[in-house]
Structure 1
Amino acid sequence: MAANAGDTATGLDAMLCFAIYGAAHAFTRAYKPLLEPLGLTYPQYLVMMALWTEDGQKVKTLGDRLGLDSGTLSPLLKRLEQSGLVKRKRDAEDERQVKITLTPQGLDLKERSSGVMAEIGKATGCNLEEAVALREALVGLKDRLEGAESE
Structure 2
Amino acid sequence: MVPEDWAAVAEAITGRMAMLGLSQRALAERAFVSQAVVREIQHHTVERRRSPRTLEALSVALGWPPHYLSAVVRGRPPLAGPEVAAADRRGPTVLSIIQKLDEIASQVDSLTTMTTEIMRRLPDLAAMRAETDRRAARCRSPGMGDVTGDPG
Q: TM-score, normalised by structure 1?
A: 0.28
Flag the structure with larger Rg: 2
Query: Which structure has the highest strand share of the two?
Result: 1
Query: Which structure has the highest helix share of the two?
Result: 2
